[in-house]
């Protein structure tokens, strides 16, 4: 499986690449902002993109919005510190989005579990992420109806 690693911190990119390599991934590219990420997605067509949120030029949320429009969009794990940034806290707290979000710092085990979860869901399943980027939060789809348990005769 092929991955790209996008983070403005060279140290963080190295750490993520090492985690991915231990999991058997081939890291085929890396970048330090959303503009570079989109170019790498278009040219390399990776299976997975790890994407920091707070980056120069184009942040991870904006990059995610653009990448969703691509035909060969990769599975994406967003990674960031919460650090009081309102839209990141909103994204992290949103049930629909939290499954694809990993808070820094993280352990190797947490990273592995998130990668497994991300790879077992649709690539970029969140069409309303623009609302998070604009600070309004995400709409959570309605919960399925609750079915009462059937009585058990003994």
Domain boundaries, the chain: 2-133
| Alpha-carbon gap, residue 120 to 81, rounded angstroms | 24
User: 135: which DSSP letter?
Assistant: T
> How do residues 33-78 score in pLDDT, each as one tens digit?
999 999 999 999 999 999 998 899 998 888 888 888 888 889 999 8
| Alpha-carbon gap, residue 49 to 42, rounded angstroms | 12
> How do residues 1-38 score in pLDDT, each as one tens digit?
999 999 999 999 999 999 999 999 999 999 999 999 99
The pLDDT confidence band at residue 134, using thresholds 50, 70 and 90, is very low
> How do residues 98-121 score in pLDDT, each as one tens digit?
567 888 889 999 999 999 998 988
CATH superfamily of the domain spanning 2-133? Response regulator (3.40.50.2300)
């Amino acid at each position: 499986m092929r991955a790209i690693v996008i983070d403005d911190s060279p140290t963080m990119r190295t750490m993520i690449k090492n985690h991915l390599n231990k999991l058997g991934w081939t890291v085929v590219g890396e970048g330090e902002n959303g503009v570079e990420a989109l170019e790498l997605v278009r040219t390399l067509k990776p299976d997975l993109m790890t994407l920091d949120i707070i980056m120069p030029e184009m942040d991870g949320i904006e990059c995610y919005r653009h990448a969703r429009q691509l035909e060969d969009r990769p599975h994406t794990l967003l990674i960031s510190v919460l650090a009081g940034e309102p839209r990141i806290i909103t994204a992290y707290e949103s049930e629909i989005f939290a499954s694809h979000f990993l808070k820094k710092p993280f352990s190797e085990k947490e990273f592995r579990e998130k990668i497994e979860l991300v790879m077992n869901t649709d690539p970029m399943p969140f069409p309303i992420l623009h609302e998070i980027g604009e600070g309004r939060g995400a709409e959570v789809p309605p919960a399925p109806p609750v079915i009462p348990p059937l009585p058990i005769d003994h």
